[in-house]
Structures are given as structure tokens and as C-alpha cells.
Amino acid sequence: MKRLTILFLSLFLAYNGMNLQAQSECLPQNYSIILGGGLALPHVEGSLKDFFSKNGNRPGYNIMTEGRYYFIPNFALGLQYDYIRIAHSPDKMHLHYVRPNITFRHLWSNGNQGAFLSFGIGYMDYQERTYKRGTQNGHLYQKGYCGISLGLGYEFRITRKLSGMLRADMLTADWFANPDGRLYNTDGYDDGVDHSWFKNNITFFNLGFAVQFGR
């Protein structure tokens, strides 16, 4: 009986050791810190004086950081911050966006690879400064919005505690309902007006790479 107990105990410890080793050699499943950046592609509708009406929807760069806590390997709650900057000398704009988000993830290859989908809603601070040609007098515009985000990506293990991430994020804000309350012109006449039920004025698509630390 004593030998049988020792055998079962040895098997139990060996199984737990193998399980812990497998967890330590796969993508994070408890918590993680993510740092990354990449290309920011804007689609902004504005007035005649704003940055994008003057300079076009030119690309910029994005820097991001995110923290995740995994309740199970396939579901996490987190907090993400994005910074976007676009400039065409002397004009410039930048954006700060912070939000809580939820992440759904699918793992394969013994947890060494995965794909994720995330949703977030939070505060977006938009700022820009434009100048008249040949003058030092700038026009400053700043406004806060309720922003919505959608993210997706591919994760892969690099080392024991480090993994890489290819990701794409869409940030959008300034949603409002069409005051006409209709989707089309009832008389069939095209008046050149977008009668979509919901519209948005500010959208950014971020494409980039990130590194992830955690366990």
C-alpha cells in the first residue's frame, strides 16, 4: 500500500510538472503585457479648415500598449492605450485613445500559436494644429469623443516568456444618428446626401507588430 501511494504521488507530481512546463512554453494564459506600433491609415471627414481636408488622408504612425488578464486561456479582460501621430510640415495632428476591452482567443499548435478578436469602448482625445501658408499663426482644434475599437491579430511564441503579434486595429468615433431617420430618399431622387442610419467622422486603421510578455 505504501509503495502504491508513492507511485500515485510520483505520477501526480510528474503530470503537474509536465503541465506547468507546457504552460510555460506556450502563449500567455494568465496575464500579459503588450508593446507595439506600426502604420496608421486615417479616414476622417472634416471641415474646410482641418488637417485632413488640407493635407488629405495621409498615413502616420501608431504606438500602443495593452495589458491583459486571462480568466481562461481563450478569454481576457484588459486595458489598451493607442497614440497616433500624423504630420505634414508644419501641420500636425495626434490622438490619444484609452479603453477597457475584452479579448476572445483561439489557440492551436499546443498553445504556441493563436488568433484573437477584441472589442473596446473608451475615451478618444483628438488634437490638431494647422497653419496658413507663410505665417506662424496656427489654428488649434481639440475635442474628446467616445471611441469604439475592433482589433484582430495572430500570436506566435518566440521564447519561453516572449511572443510576437501581428495585429490590425480599427478605431472610430463621433458616431451619430441620421436626423432624417431614413435610409433612402422616398421619392427616388438622388440628392447626393448620405442617408445611412448611422455615420461616423473619425476612423483610423492601425497595422503593425507587437511583442508580448507574460505567462
Digit-coded pLDDT (tens) for 33-53: 999 999 999 988 765 567 888
187 pLDDT band, cuts 50/70/90, is: low
pLDDT given at position 188: 61
Q: What is the pLDDT of residue 114?
A: 94
Highest mean pLDDT (candidates 52-61, 166-175, 192-201, 203-212): 203-212
- CB-based burial, 170-201: b 16+ in 10 Å, e otherwise: ebbbbeeeeeeeeeeeeeeeeeeeeeeeeebe
pTM above 0.75, yes or no: yes
- Mean pLDDT for the chain overall: 82
Q: Which domains, and CATH codes, for the chain? A: 2-214 (2.40.160.20)
Mean pLDDT, residues 144-173: 93
Give the contacts of 147 (CB within 8 A, at least 6 positions apart). 97, 99, 121, 122, 123, 124, 171, 172, 173
> How much is the pLDDT for 119?
97
User: Averaged over 8-22, what is the pLDDT?
Assistant: 43
3-class DSSP state of 17: helix
Nearest to 125 by CA among 65, 86, 84, 64: 84
Confidence category of residue 82, pLDDT binned at 50, 70, 90? very high
Rounded average pLDDT over 49-64: 87
